[in-house]
């Protein structure tokens, strides 16, 4: 209380009283009484809103420990926070270690740390909501440490993250309570996974995870400790230069969570690995796997092996063989589970796959092939929206009719 009173008296241009005087709006910028983000983090209190003037902020690292805090960009442009060799607590550009925190319209770039774990943003505890943020050129885009935390990400972009060793990830969630990601765009990993989560409960809906040309990610999505995982309506693409044949990996280190179930519904999963990738790798154990209405671009099946009838269409059948622990595996080991209406197509069924337009064409013949999936522990597996590039979603007008993540047809492919 004393801190707020002193700040209000000394910096009248930087503060506006909230409703009933219960909270402050702190204005940050060169023309404000609070010129740096670090200063705002030091004086903000619970319930405050920090509004940052658009522009570039070099080395302006901060630790946020407040509850019910909102940090957002002001009108007129983006806020870019560039590490420039600095770290908050040796961990990242910003560290969140408070209660409920919302961060909107902020770009984070260039995080490095002595331990090669520098994050654009690091979540230590609390409930963090990220909206319309971006994370580029960092060892980790976002790092959520183990603990009683929840991370929600909406309409955000992650690109060119990772330290190149394979040990860091574009997004990493430790053993936290929950992870939710929607309407977001992950691309061009530099080692590690585009998303690696040990969260106990995971919901990824209507996102685009595409490693793309030159991307060097490992498994696009990895859930090494299992947990409750629902993947609904995502576009997932493995690049030709991937460092791991698996596209989705589940429980590869065992099943530590009390509830271990993987649900794959209405995803478009694309294998661009020349040798053939593994659509789904799941370790046997006390878990369940259910998959409905997924569109598979390539020969691999979610349940392992190759789609029957594809062998003669692949140049060199044994190019689909990969090495795992010294043993040959052909398009992935078998995965036990329930697999319904997961359909393989090739590029001729898609609008413009070379440009990541994975909409089906009318000629694909898949209209009306959607089947209604059951609920998963009371949560529906029918998509309510679809990804719209870049980094947003649009609601579906009705029940889906097509398998895969996209419900609008693309233009017919033109003959050369």
**Cα 70 to Cα 51: distance, rounded to the nearest angstrom:** 8
326: left (phi over 0), alpha (psi -120 to 50) or beta: left
* Structural domain boundaries in the chain: 2-285
Average pLDDT over the chain, rounded to an integer: 91
Tens of pLDDT, residues 18-71: 444 557 999 999 999 999 999 999 999 999 999 999 999 999 999 999 999 999
Looking at the DSSP bridge assignments, the partners of residue 135 are 108, 158
DSSP β-bridge partners for residue 282: 250
pLDDT digits (tens, 9 = 90+) for 1-17: 444 433 433 344 456 65
- Return d(Cα 119, Cα 141) in angstroms, integer: 5
**How far is the C-alpha of 178 from the C-alpha of 151, rounded, in Å?**
6
Q: Compute CA distances 120 → 24, 71, 91, 172, whole Å.
A: 26, 15, 9, 12
- Is the preceding peptide bond at 300 cis, omega within 30 degrees of 0? no
In this model, does residue 323 exceed pLDDT 70?
no
- Residue pLDDT, tens place only, 377-408: 888 999 999 999 999 999 999 999 999 999 99
Closest by alpha carbon to 193, among 167, 232, 226? 167
Token duo for residue 242: 């991937």
Percent of the chain with pLDDT over 70: 88
The C-alpha atoms of residue 245 and residue 248 are separated, in whole angstroms, by 9
- What is the CB-side half-sphere exposure of residue 320 using CA atoms within 13 A? 23
Q: What is the mean pLDDT of residues 262-282?
A: 97
Could you please state the CATH topology (level 3) that the domain comprising 2-285 is classified under: Pectate Lyase C-like (2.160.20)
Position 275 scores a pLDDT of 92
Is the pLDDT score of 322 beyond 50? Answer: no
Q: Is 225 exposed, middle or buried (0-12, 13-18, 19+ CB in 10 A)?
A: buried
Phi, psi of 2 (to 5 degrees): -65, -40
Cα 168 versus chain centre, distance: 14
């Amino acid at each position: 209380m004393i801190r707020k009173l002193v700040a209000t008296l000394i910096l009248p241009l930087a503060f506006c009283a909230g409703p009933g005087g219960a909270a402050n709006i702190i204005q940050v910028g060169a023309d404000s009484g609070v010129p740096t983000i670090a200063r705002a983090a030091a004086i903000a209190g619970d319930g405050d809103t920090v509004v940052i003037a658009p522009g570039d902020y070099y080395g302006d690292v901060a630790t946020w420990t407040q509850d019910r805090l909102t940090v957002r960009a002001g009108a007129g442009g983006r806020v870019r926070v560039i590490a420039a060799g600095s770290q908050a607590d040796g961990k990242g550009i910003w560290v969140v270690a408070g209660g409920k925190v919302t961060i909107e319209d902020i770009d984070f770039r260039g995080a490095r740390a002595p331990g090669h774990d520098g994050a654009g943003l690091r979540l230590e505890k609390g409930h963090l909501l990220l909206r319309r943020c971006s994370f580029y050129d960092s060892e980790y885009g976002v790092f959520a440490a183990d603990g009683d935390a929840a991370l929600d990400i909406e309409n955000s972009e992650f690109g060119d993250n990772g330290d190149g060793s394979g040990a860091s990830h574009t997004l990493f969630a430790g053993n936290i309570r929950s992870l939710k990601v929607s309407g977001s765009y992950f691309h061009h990993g530099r080692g590690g996974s585009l998303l690696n989560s040990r969260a106990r409960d995971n919901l990824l809906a209507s996102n685009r995870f595409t490693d793309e040309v030159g991307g060097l990610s490992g498994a696009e999505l990895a859930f090494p400790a299992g947990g409750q995982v629902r993947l609904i309506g995502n576009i997932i693409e493995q690049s030709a230069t991937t460092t791991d044949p698996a596209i989705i990996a589940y429980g590869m280190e065992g099943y530590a969570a009390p509830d271990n179930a993987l649900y794959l519904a209405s995803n478009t999963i694309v294998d661009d690995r020349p040798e053939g990738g593994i659509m789904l790798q799941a370790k046997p154990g006390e878990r369940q796997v259910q998959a409905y209405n997924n569109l598979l671009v390539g020969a691999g099946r979610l349940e392992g092996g190759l789609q029957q009838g594809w062998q003669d269409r692949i140049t060199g059948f044994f190019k689909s063989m990969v090495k795992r622990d010294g043993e040959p595996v052909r398009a992935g080991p078998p995965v036990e589970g329930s697999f319904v209406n997961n359909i393989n197509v090739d590029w001729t069924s898609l609008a413009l796959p070379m440009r990541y337009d994975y909409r089906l064409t009318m000629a694909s013949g898949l209209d009306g092939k959607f089947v209604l999936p059951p609920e998963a522990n009371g949560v529906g597996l029918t998509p309510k929206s679809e990804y719209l590039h870049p980094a947003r979603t649009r609601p579906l007008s009705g029940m889906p009719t097509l398998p895969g993540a996209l419900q609008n047809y693309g233009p017919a492919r033109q003959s050369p």
